[in-house]
């Protein structure tokens, strides 16, 4: 079942929207802000759709015309340009008119970045979502060569291809650094961009550091503290009926649950709930389904259990015509250990271990998952990540109701506990709130010590 894109779109929408909030005072102030990035293929074309939903002007570079045409035909990209001479005036007009529009540049991203520097165009937000976890086999292409020339070089002279890619990465970071110095907010998408730039010898480390990047990952800056630490992550469901009517019914169920929760929610999570209310309310209008009839939204354990419980009841009552399969993206609160992305804001040193994914894998099995998975790779490359996943079938039965309550609760709160042990203040708030809501939950809390006290001991 092909359900990835809308999950990536939702996570990307939250990331881009909160990146925009970092550099703007209000929704009105956000209009006309310029977002520059790359990648419409392997890492999905989520960015232009997300930026448009967030109300930004976005330009996404992509060298592969097939990927550009696919995203354009899906209406995830509004307009396509293969000439910078045509694109630059369009960017200026879109920014001046404060449009919410997604533009694609069919060409090399470094040519785009360097032209923006040359034209002295103000860029508000920058990132990169090329498939740099696979840099030597088509995940990233060198500047100065066509797609065909690059592919030929890749096959016939891989050593030269690697050299050209690394030269391009150095040019890439130099342009980014120039625009950052002029006020651009740049974040890493966890796609190994900063890692490969460092391996290429690019200027990417903080001053006087040999291992700390000057730009944070989006999990460190955005999704970690704003979502994952509070327990919000990509919860999804697929309709075995493939019925759009069933899709609409569960949208209504989820919307009702979130709106009820919002009425009594603490201030710390009202914004997350508000964003997801807008997301699920407008999901059909935004034409997000690619492949199976499926839906995804960012939810905490309380919302996941309540939505799943209501869906299971609707199946039992015949309001939904067939079983629904629950799941989540690997890019979640507790399903994945990846020091360069999902666990990059866990600062106690345990971000380099794989225990959380394994605990979820085993814990979900004992608590009623229909199937489970434990696998390597996914977004940041083999050897850099361990993922634990599950599927849970809702069939309207009493047994499904029992299992969903046990399993979904564990699946989320295992991750919040890990994040609270790292002394992340948002996770400490979330786990304390959950223990008050669920008296049978007992989680050991960390002892907080002033960093200066620790420093004075050594």
pLDDT tens readout for residues 145-160: 999 999 999 999 999 9
- Averaged pLDDT of the chain: 89
pLDDT tens per residue, range 237-250: 988 998 888 989 99
CB-based contacts of 173-180 (< 8 A; 24+ apart in sequence): 173/197, 173/202, 173/203, 173/204, 174/202, 174/203, 175/110, 175/113, 175/114, 175/116, 175/117, 176/113, 176/126, 177/203, 178/117, 179/113, 179/116, 179/117, 179/123, 179/126, 180/126, 180/215
Q: Is the pLDDT of residue 5 over 50?
A: no
Lowest mean pLDDT among 9-18, 276-285, 310-319: 9-18
Confidence class for position 335, pLDDT limits 50, 70, 90? confident
pLDDT of the residue at 275: 86
pLDDT over 70, % of the chain: 94
Confidence class for position 344, pLDDT limits 50, 70, 90? confident
Q: Give the residue, 387 or 45, on which the prediction is more confident.
A: 387
Q: Give the residue, 10 or 290, on which the prediction is more confident.
A: 10
Nearest C-alpha neighbor of 176 from the set 215, 142, 222: 215
Q: Give the residue, 288 or 394, on which the prediction is more confident.
A: 394
Q: How far apart are CA 274 and CA 271, in angstroms?
A: 5
pLDDT of the residue at 297: 87
Q: Is the pLDDT of residue 289 over 80?
A: no
pLDDT of the residue at 1: 30
- In order of start, what are the domains of the chain with their CATH numbers? 4-215 (3.40.50.10730), 231-453 (3.40.1770.10)
Q: Give the residue, 295 or 120, on which the prediction is more confident.
A: 120
Q: Is the pLDDT of residue 266 over 70?
A: yes
Q: Is the pLDDT of residue 256 over 90?
A: yes
Task: For tokens 């790359």, name the residue.
Answer: 38
Confidence class for position 7, pLDDT limits 50, 70, 90? very low
Averaged over 83-107, what is the pLDDT? 97
Q: Is the pLDDT of residue 105 over 50?
A: yes
Q: How far apart are CA 237 and CA 246, in angstroms?
A: 11
DSSP state of 149: H
Q: Give the residue, 21 or 388, on which the prediction is more confident.
A: 388
Q: Which residues contact 404 (CB under 8 A, 6 or more apart)?
A: 305, 308, 309, 312, 326, 368, 392, 394
Evaluate whether 348 touches 423 at the Cβ level (below 8 Å).
yes
Q: How far apart are CA 148 and CA 374, in angstroms?
A: 37
Residue positions counted in the chain: 458
Evaluate whether 357 touches 387 at the Cβ level (below 8 Å).
yes
Q: Is the pLDDT of residue 8 over 60?
A: no
pLDDT of the residue at 288: 59
DSSP output for 88-128 = HHHHHHHHHTT--EEEEEES-HHHHHHHHHHHT---SEE--
For residue 38, what is the enclosing H or E element?
A: strand 34-38
Lowest mean pLDDT among 63-77, 87-101, 301-315: 63-77
DSSP state of 42: T
pLDDT tens per residue, range 443-455: 999 988 887 887 7
pLDDT of the residue at 290: 53
pLDDT of the residue at 19: 83
pLDDT over 90, % of the chain: 59
Evaluate whether 337 touches 360 at the Cβ level (below 8 Å).
no
């Amino acid at each position: 079942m092909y359900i990835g894109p809308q999950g990536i779109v939702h996570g990307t929408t939250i990331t881009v929207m909160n990146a925009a909030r970092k550099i703007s005072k209000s929704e009105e102030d956000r209009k006309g802000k310029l977002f520059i990035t790359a990648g419409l293929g392997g890492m999905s074309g989520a960015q232009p759709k997300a930026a448009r939903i967030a109300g930004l002007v976005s330009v996404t570079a992509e060298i592969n015309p097939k990927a550009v045409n696919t995203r354009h035909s899906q209406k995830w990209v509004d307009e396509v340009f293969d000439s910078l001479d045509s694109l630059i005036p369009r960017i200026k007009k879109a920014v001046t008119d404060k449009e919410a529009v997604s533009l694609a540049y069919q060409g090399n991203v470094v040519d785009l970045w360097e032209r923006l520097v040359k034209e002295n165009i103000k860029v508000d937000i920058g990132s990169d979502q090329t498939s740099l976890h696979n840099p030597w086999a088509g995940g990233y292409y060198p500047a100065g060569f066509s797609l065909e020339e690059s592919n030929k070089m890749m096959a016939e002279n891989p050593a030269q291809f690697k050299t050209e890619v690394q030269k391009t990465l150095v040019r890439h970071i130099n342009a980014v650094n120039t625009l950052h110095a002029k006020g651009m907010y740049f974040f890493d998408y966890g796609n190994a961009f900063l890692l490969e730039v460092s391996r290429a010898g690019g200027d990417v480390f903080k001053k006087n550091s040999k291992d700390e990047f000057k730009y944070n990952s989006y999990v460190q800056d955005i999704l970690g503290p704003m979502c994952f630490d509070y327990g919000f992550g990509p919860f999804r469901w697929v309709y075995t009926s493939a019925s759009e009517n069933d899709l609409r019914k569960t949208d209504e169920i989820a919307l009702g649950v979130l709106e009820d929760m919002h009425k009594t929610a603490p201030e710390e999570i009202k914004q997350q709930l508000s964003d997801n209310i807008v997301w699920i309310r407008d999901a059909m209008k935004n034409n997000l389904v690619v492949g199976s009839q499926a839906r995804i939204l960012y939810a905490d354990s309380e919302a996941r259990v309540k939505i799943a419980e209501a869906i299971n009841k609707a199946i039992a009552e015949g309001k939904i015509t067939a079983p629904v399969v629950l799941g989540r993206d690997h890019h979640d609160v507790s399903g994945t250990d990846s020091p360069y992305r999902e666990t990059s804001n866990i600062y106690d040193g345990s971000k380099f271990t794989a225990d959380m994914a394994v605990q979820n894998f085993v814990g979900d099995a004992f608590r009623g998952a229909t199937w489970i998975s434990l696998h390597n790779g996914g977004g940041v490359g083999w050897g850099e990540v361990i993922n634990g996943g599950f599927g849970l079938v809702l069939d309207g039965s009493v047994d499904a109701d029992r299992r969903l309550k046990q399993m979904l609760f564990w699946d989320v709160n295992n991750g919040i506990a890990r994040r609270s042990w790292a002394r992340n203040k948002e996770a400490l708030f979330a786990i304390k709130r959950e223990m008050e809501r669920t008296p049978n939950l007992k989680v050991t809390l960390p002892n907080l010590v002033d960093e200066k006290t620790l420093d004075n001991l050594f």
